[in-house]
Amino acid sequence: MFTPRHIRLGSRGSALALWQTEHVASRLRALHPDVTVETVVIQTRGDRFKDRPLPSIGGKGLFTMELEERLRQGQIDGAVHSLKDLPVDDPEGLVLGAIPARGDVADALVVRSAGETRGRSRNGLPELREGAVVGTGSRRRAAQLLARRPDLRIVDIRGNVDTRVRKTLDPAGEYDAAVLAVAGLKRLGLEARISLTLPFETMLPAPGQGALAVQCRREAKWLGFFGGIDDKETRAAVTAERAFLAELGGGCRASVGALGESGKDGADGRSSTDLRRESGLRLRGRVSAPDGSRQIDARVSGSAGKAEQLGRDLAQQVLRRGAKEIIEQITEVEIWPDENRQR
């Protein structure tokens, strides 16, 4: 088996990206104690343009393209990403060499006056004041918030995780709250800032949320090397989620949430023992109108070995139930008016 003496992992320069890359590096060192791992920091387009909402500067690929180019050129041996940042189609010559065991998949609300709202909720959200200002750079999060609380004012918020937390908690700032991924907050030791972990009925995560991905060149030696830290259960779940997104159009501007989970408690009338035996997978998906006025939800379950087909089947369900109309009606819908852009 191919085992290099030294490898280079490409990473963005944020605290969270560096944590993620070191996590992958530590997993590789545990398997290959004699291998030295170097982190190569690479700035992406998404890192350079911090004054504009993400959808307005290109969406998927903003945080990955520069790393992928360095990988193709052989300047790095692997690129570590948050899986939800990766487009659903593999770039030419590259592949997902490893998807390690997943972290927390949920989203959380960080509230400026956390002590006043902790433990209380309204429609799955804390009792924020009428017209409260909530920061998020995600159409998915914005749409699902508005579905529960159409009175909320959704305002774009950019920056790394710690920057967004700081902006939200600033007593003189404009934000009453912000939505962030639980995994990122935990990885940076900011779990105490979570006011409420949002239930999936309120906020379904992005496809691939909470998972890391190691991209490598499509070469057997690198697939074998990185494959040692691959987690089969996580890969099945995110494969189904990403297939759901791909079948819907992948780059569409609709708000898309998806969550794959190991089969539990008698899905499709089967016992949990039966599901474990056959590696069952349950998948739920949601497509929302940008203003939250309409949501299409659906669920499927089946064998984890058919994860990609489950994702496609789920997409066809929501398309038949009206998601196609939502997607076709969305062109350049703006969630954040010009005067509400980056603060």
pLDDT, one tens digit per residue, over 108-151 is: 999 998 544 444 555 667 678 999 999 999 999 999 999 999 99
Mean pLDDT score across all residues of the chain: 87
- Cα–Cα dist 47/76, whole Å: 19
Contact by Cβ (8 Å): 200, 206? no
Spell out the SS3 assignment of the chain: CCCCCEEEEEECCCHHHHHHHHHHHHHHHHHCCCCEEEEEECCCHHHHCCCCCHHHHCCCCCCCHHHHHHHHCCCCCEEEEEHHHCCCCCCCCEEEEECCCCCCCCEEEEECCHHHHCCCCECCECCCCCCCEEECCCHHHHHHHHHHCCCCEEECCCCCHHHHHHHHHCCCCCCCEEEEEHHHHHHCCCHHHCCEECCCCCCCCCCCCCCEEEEEECCHHHHHHHHHHCCHHHHHHHHHHHHHHHHHCCCCCCEEEEEEEECCCCHHHCCHHHHHHCCEEEEEEEEECCCCCCEEEEEEEEEHHHHHHHHHHHHHHHHHHHHHHHHHHCCCCCCCCHHHCCC
Q: Same topology for domains 107-197 and 231-342, yes or no?
A: no
Pick the catalytic residue from 77, 85, 104, 156. Answer: 85
CATH class of this structure's domain 107-197: alpha beta
pLDDT at residue 163, rounded to an integer: 95
Is the pLDDT at 164 greater than 90? The verdict is yes
Q: Please give the residue that has the higher pLDDT: either 38 or 333.
A: 38
pLDDT at residue 5, rounded to an integer: 95
The domain 231-342 is placed in CATH, from the list 3.30.160.40, 3.30.465.10, 3.40.50.150, 3.40.50.2300, at 3.30.160.40
pTM: 0.87
Label residue 53 by pLDDT band (50, 70, 90).
Answer: low
Label residue 276 by pLDDT band (50, 70, 90).
Answer: very low
Is the pLDDT at 38 greater than 80? The verdict is yes
Which of 162, 164, 123, 174 shows the shortest CA–CA distance to 146? Answer: 123
- Cα–Cα dist 167/263, whole Å: 39
Once rounded to an integer, what is the mean pLDDT over residues 256-282? 65
Which of 234, 243, 236, 232 shows the shortest CA–CA distance to 314? Answer: 243
**Fold entry, domain 1-100+211-230:** D-Maltodextrin-Binding Protein; domain 2 (3.40.190)
- Residue 90 annotated to the active site: no
Is the pLDDT at 158 greater than 60? The verdict is yes
Q: Please give the residue that has the higher pLDDT: either 1 or 108.
A: 108
Label residue 195 by pLDDT band (50, 70, 90).
Answer: very high
Whole-angstrom distance between the N-terminal and C-terminal Cα of the chain?
Answer: 51
Is the pLDDT at 286 greater than 50? The verdict is yes
pLDDT at residue 311, rounded to an integer: 98
Which residues face 287 on adjacent strands? Answer: 256, 296
- Cα–Cα dist 113/156, whole Å: 20
Q: pLDDT digit string (tens) for 137-147?
A: 999 999 999 99
Residue spans per domain, the chain: 1-100+211-230, 107-197, 231-342
